[in-house]
Amino acid sequence: MDVRTLEPLLALLGGAGAPETGLFPLAGAAAARAGGNPLQQMDQLKQNFVVSEAALQLALIQILVGLLQNAPPGTPAVGTGDAGAAAATTDAASPAAVGGAGDVGAADPGAAGGGSAAVSQARQFLGQDSASLKGRLPKFTAAGGQTNNCCDFVSSCLENAGMIRGHFVNCKQLEQALKQQGWRQVPAAQAKPGDVWFNQSRGHVELVTAAGGTRTIGSNNDRPGHQRISERAKNPAEGVYYTKG
């Protein structure tokens, strides 16, 4: 032990050359007689039982309190520091802090933003052969091979966005499912991104990408027997539109 570490304590108790100014003058006087060696002074204090164990503990506590009070600004208190900062960062990044408790868990069918999410996912595959999406677009099965994947594509985007339940590769079955799940037919002027467009014969389906139903995206024929994902202008009079709610 470095004897210099004992000198502040001995000074407080009354040793280390200042027996008359310490907390325990009698103890200090006895210690002073032991000479200038701090270790010998401490032994003398113990041997004479002048300073009780409780008094010594109190003195140590007072020293610690003084050290804490004189600590430089910004010194972390006991029990805080990086761990507390990490906890605050975690809370700030949690779903409840960012978007509220309603954002936690699976998307609710028809939730706000679902239509935009469906369109955003559909646009990720613009220009790509529809059959190549299998294994890359969740839910997509490429049931129609190189062609006839329009319903498979729209159903996948809607399901992934939490806007429908179930997967469909037949246009008429998809239309029935939409009706059963709260979708309703609306005029083209009321159509919005994420709504669904069918042609009059219900043989083709696409996803609405612009207000008023003026643009759609889907798995469309680019040549006989082959489909590719494309976005195109739409004549609102050419088909029917469905919206959620």
Same structural domain for residues 135 and 39? no
* pLDDT at 61 (0 to 100): 77
Tell me what the mean pLDDT of segment 137-163 comes to: 97
pLDDT bin (cut points 50, 70, 90) of residue 32 is low
Residue 96 within a domain:
no
Which of 10-14, 39-43, 51-55, 163-167 shows the highest mean pLDDT?
A: 163-167
Same structural domain for residues 217 and 125? yes
Same structural domain for residues 128 and 237? yes
Same structural domain for residues 164 and 52? no
Same structural domain for residues 64 and 162? no
Q: What pTM was computed for the model?
A: 0.56
Same structural domain for residues 150 and 218? yes
Parent domain of 194: 115-244
**3-class state of residue 235 by DSSP:** coil
* pLDDT at 36 (0 to 100): 55
pLDDT of 174 strictly over 70: yes
Same structural domain for residues 158 and 57? no
Give the DSSP letter string of 14-26. Answer: T-TT-TTTSS-HH
- 63-107 confidence digits (pLDDT tens): 776 666 665 555 444 433 333 333 332 233 322 222 222 232 333
Tell me what the mean pLDDT of segment 133-154 comes to: 97
Distance CA 90, CA 179 (A): 42
Residue 152 within a domain:
yes
Q: What are phi and psi of 174, to 5 degrees?
A: -65, -45
Q: When comparing pLDDT for 229 and 13, which is higher? A: 229
Residue 106 within a domain:
no
Structural domain count, the chain: 2
CA distances from 37 to 130, 192, 206 (A): 90, 89, 93
Return the CATH number at 232. Answer: 3.90.1720.10
Tell me what the mean pLDDT of segment 171-176 comes to: 98
Distance CA 169, CA 203 (A): 11
Q: What is the rounded end-to-end Cα distance, in angstroms, of the chain?
A: 79
Question: Residues 234, 238, 239, 240: is their CA dihedral positive or negative?
Answer: positive
Same structural domain for residues 233 and 120? yes
Same structural domain for residues 198 and 125? yes
* pLDDT at 80 (0 to 100): 34
Q: Which of 116, 137, 110, 139 is nearest to 126 (CA)?
A: 137
Paired with 208 in beta bridges are 216
